[in-house]
Structure formats: structure tokens, C-alpha cells
Amino acid sequence: MIRPGTSADAEAIVAQRRAMFHEMGYHDDQVLDSMCEAFRPWLVRMMRDNQYLAWFAVDSSGGIAAGAGLWLMDWPPHMIGPGAPRGNILNVYTRPENRRMGLARRLMDAALAWCRANGIRAVILHSSDAGRPLYESMGFTRTNEMRIVLELDSKTSG
């Protein structure tokens, strides 16, 4: 069963995000813990403001088997969208014992259906190597996004 998430699910989302990054090769517990502590209040605020939506696949015992989030990002008018929010799908995670059952696809279908119904034309995501085949099979294409991570001056980093 797929169900929408609520603010009561914030800790489940934080735990899934941590597990997702751990499985992607980030094994420094201190860094993961710090990320979770910073993510938690952001998530609660975004969920309260309806800027972060979540969906969960629930197993037969009522436990969360998989989850996915949708961050509605303010975005300027662009060739692929009139300026409505851009959807950013994130925190897609399935417990190892529930993989290869189509749960991530069903969660993605739910998020994309919500986007269509609410006029969100442009949807992006960042994919792990493991998730890329699923997203490509659903029509996602690679784009030209680039990234830099800046070192901050000690005066600005608090």
C-alpha cells in the first residue's frame, strides 16, 4: 500500500535518508549524524509549509518498507516551465529486504502523478548508480548540471 507521509513521519524520513547515504558509500558516522541533525529541522519546516511531500510503501505489518520525498522548489520561469515550482525528488529509499518488488517505482509514480495533477512540469532528481536504471526507464534523462563545493572562510563558517 502507498500512503502519503505526514509530519509524524519525519524521523522515518531522517532514518531513511541516513541509510540511503550510508549505502551510497558515506560511512563517517559523525558526518552522517551531523547531516541528520541539520536535515531534521529543515524537513519539519518544509513539511509544515507543504514544500516537502512524502509517500511511503507500507508492508503487510504496517511498517515502512520504502519512502520517497518531493521538495517543491521555487524556480524562475524557464523554457521547460512557466515558473511554477520545480519538483525535486529526493530521499528515495527501500529497505534491503523489500527491494526488487517495484516499491520505488510505485512511489515515483505517486510523486509524478501528484506533480501532473498540480501543474508541476519540471521534475529533477539526483540518482545513485543503483537507482539510475529505474529513473531512466521512467523517462528521466541526464542533464548538464555541474557542482562545486566551496571551502568557507573561518569567519563565515561560524
Q: What is the pLDDT of residues 69-110, one digit of tens each?
A: 999 999 888 887 677 799 999 999 999 999 999 999 999 999
Count CB atoms within 10 A of the CB of residue 21.
18
Q: What CATH code is carried by the domain that includes residue 40?
A: 3.40.630.30
Residue 155's identity, in one-letter code, is K
Residue 142 lies in a domain: no
Q: How many domains are there within the chain?
A: 1
Look up residue 152 and give its DSSP letter. Answer: P
Query: CA-CA distance, 11 to 8, in Å (whole number)?
Result: 8
Residue 143 lies in a domain: no
* Helix, strand or coil, per DSSP, at residue 56: strand
| C-alpha dihedral sign at 12, 88, 22, 66 | positive
Residue 78 lies in a domain: yes
Residues of the domain holding 118:
2-137
Q: What confidence score (pLDDT) does residue 26 get?
A: 96
* 123: confidence class by pLDDT, cuts 50, 70, 90: very high
pTM score: 0.91
Residue 85 lies in a domain: yes
| C-alpha dihedral sign at 91, 95, 100, 103 | negative
pLDDT tops 70 at residue 156: no
